[in-house]
Amino acid sequence: MEQCDFSVSHAFHVVGIYRVPLLMPSPGSLRIQTLAFSEPNLLPPSSDLRSNFVEFFSVQIMVSAMDLKEHKFVVAGLLFFVTLVLAKIVAAVLAPKSRKRLPPTVAALPVVGGLLRFMKGPIPMIREEYAKIGSVFTVNIINRKITFFIGPEVSGHFFKAPEAQLSQQEVYQFNVPTFGPGVVFDVDYSVRQEQFRFFTEALRVTKLRSYVDQMIVEAEDYFSKWGESGTVDLKYELEHLIILTASRCLLGREVRDKLFDDVSALFHDLDNGMRPISVIFPYLPIPAHRRRDRARARIAEIFSTIIKSRKSSGKSEDDMLQCFIDSRYKDGRPTTEGEITGLLIAALFAGQHTSSITSTWTGAYMLSYKKYLTAALEEQRGIMRRHGDKVDHDILSEMDVLYRCIKEALRLHPPLIMLLRYSHDDFTVATKDGKEYDIPKGHIVATSPAFANRLPYIYKDPNTYDPDRFAPGRDEDKAAGAFSYISFGGGRHGCLGEPFAYLQIKAIWSHLLRNFEFELISPFPENDWNAMVVGVKGEVMVRYKRRKLSIDN
């Protein structure tokens, strides 16, 4: 089996989505002003809120410890804190009452209360407040206000609002040193839109057909190295297969065939360069950032050589790299080598962890719920009766039972638990019970797939694994209208890689179902809430035995 260590976080989500743009201190404000953060430079979001906050405050505590030697700083700090609290109270009493219909605010101790509740876990906080104060509410986190929109009736606004009203750029700036200059969140919206068009073109059906062929070859090759029987950590295995596949389909043949180990190691450094502290200080000269920057520079060199060689040989390949090489801006300008490299990094960050986590949850559920495993096997038999052993894009598209098994695993465990935007304009939102709230400019607006995907008025027995809820006739996600199922986001910034992700996971699981019998031997896994992209905690041990699925039962 090929060994590799090639983990990258989900670009648009990981690095963008979860990181809360709240606590950006201005350089130099860190000493005693733990609570006095400068305005915008909106902190790019962090995927692991709690650890970001913890790390952030650790930094503050360390800095404060230095100050302890000097009492005057401690006294000044305390005075500052007391003044801040008093000023808040006085301002609240004296301020003219706004005529705005502001959303209810989460009850918490002044100044740090909201932060503390958030640090204890955003999902429990959302659960509690949703039950108490409804589908739109604001939590004050130090100097920032995050307003949550929960449920399709209100999150429609989140997903559909134009960029001029709710934007991603401010909360995603943090990606820039990783993706590199000139791409995605380093460029203005009009250029970004064009670059997203390149993604759309690179992921259209004609391209997906050839990616699928590569996915199948990778899966066959990978599992051919397993023995007749054995015990494996399914999570580890699927993670590695998905890295290999992503590098074949996205980064291209040169990397997959000749440079895989080198490029894997470089991506590992890039991934590790995203620390909680990077959220606040993405350019802080710490070893992890230096390694990230070196890796980014080396990746740029590698791709520059590959791109030059492809261009000079005139050879064209079926991969995303080739699509980006061939992409043109509206004014006819071709993409530069730097842009191509940045877009590929972004794609890998977007699709890798998310897909491997989802393929592991799908397996864990199918192996635990025999009813659905049996249905998925029966579906494979039916397809084998029609098409023999052949598998391609269209055949994968016939696998509806498997699709629903994946979709349901992803409903229960969306790797991206929170999506964020920054509000540039006041706007009004109406709840399903007819209340209207005015959301002021300057709020961070958030919605949570992890919570909204389990709303009991949309999903029957929402905590139960029941893939049939998506079957024709039930269609629970459609019955409540758009944005009832938001594991892939939706609307203006809905995931562009959704079909790719399903095809990849189906290619893997159809191969496994046809060629192996499994037994889950470790306890059913839990969410790893501390991971950058919320994944599967610990190992997922399975015993396997090779066998050919017979079409005769």
Contacts to ligand HEM from residues 116-175, by CB under 6 A: 168
When asked if residue 493 is in the footprint of ligand HEM (CB under 6 A), the reply is yes
d(CA 123, CA 518): 33
For ligand HEM, the binding residue among 22, 119, 495, 534 (CB under 6 A) is 495
d(CA 415, CA 47): 10
Report CA 244 to chain centroid distance, whole Å: 20
d(CA 432, CA 436): 10
HSE-CB of 253 using CA atoms within 13 angstroms: 11
For ligand HEM, the binding residue among 500, 510, 513, 542 (CB under 6 A) is 500
Minimal distance, residue 382 CB to ligand HEM, in Å: 26
Contacts to ligand HEM from residues 448-487, by CB under 6 A: 487
Q: How large is the greatest C-alpha to C-alpha distance in the chain, in angstroms?
A: 83
Tokens for 456?
């009991």
Tokens for 311?
């261009």
Determine which helix (DSSP H) or strand (DSSP E) holds 408, and give its type and residue range.
helix 400-412
Task: Check whether 495 is labelled as a binding-site residue.
Answer: yes
E strands, 86-212, where? Answer: 136-141, 144-149, 166-167
User: Which C-beta is closer to ligand HEM: that of 60 or that of 356?
Assistant: 356
d(CA 503, CA 402): 11
Determine which helix (DSSP H) or strand (DSSP E) holds 22, and give its type and residue range.
none
Contacts to ligand HEM from residues 338-367, by CB under 6 A: 347, 350-351, 354-355, 358
For ligand HEM, the binding residue among 501, 532, 534, 536 (CB under 6 A) is 501
Name every residue whose Cβ is closer than 8 Å to that of residue 536 and which is 6 or more positions away in sequence.
235, 357, 360, 361, 364, 413, 525, 526, 527, 528
Contacts to ligand HEM from residues 167-186, by CB under 6 A: 168
For ligand HEM, the binding residue among 13, 117, 235, 248 (CB under 6 A) is 13
Minimal distance, residue 160 CB to ligand HEM, in Å: 11
Site mask for ligand HEM (CB under 6 A), range 186-215, x = bound: ----------x--x----------------
d(CA 307, CA 313): 10
User: Which C-beta is closer to ligand HEM: that of 33 or that of 356?
Assistant: 356
d(CA 8, CA 3): 16
Minimal distance, residue 17 CB to ligand HEM, in Å: 5
Name the β-bridge partners of 430: 436
Measured CA distances, 255 to 198, 248, 307, 406 (Å): 21, 7, 12, 29
Minimal distance, residue 475 CB to ligand HEM, in Å: 20
When asked if residue 444 is in the footprint of ligand HEM (CB under 6 A), the reply is no
For ligand HEM, the binding residue among 4, 6, 7, 12 (CB under 6 A) is 12
Site mask for ligand HEM (CB under 6 A), range 391-430, x = bound: -----------------------xxx--x-----------
Minimal distance, residue 112 CB to ligand HEM, in Å: 28
Name the β-bridge partners of 78: none
User: Which C-beta is closer to ligand HEM: that of 117 or that of 192?
Assistant: 192
d(CA 551, CA 553): 6
For ligand HEM, the binding residue among 488, 510, 520, 535 (CB under 6 A) is 488
Taking a C-beta distance cutoff of 8 angstroms, is the pair 9, 53 a contact? no
d(CA 117, CA 132): 15
User: Which C-beta is closer to ligand HEM: that of 134 or that of 351?
Assistant: 351
**Cα first-last separation, the chain:** 32
When asked if residue 20 is in the footprint of ligand HEM (CB under 6 A), the reply is no
For ligand HEM, the binding residue among 489, 525, 535, 544 (CB under 6 A) is 489
**Residues annotated in a binding site:** 495
Catalog residues that contact ligand HEM under the rule CB under 6 A: 12-13, 17, 168, 196, 199, 347, 350-351, 354-355, 358, 414-416, 419, 487-489, 493, 495-497, 500-501
**Residues annotated in a binding site for heme:** 495
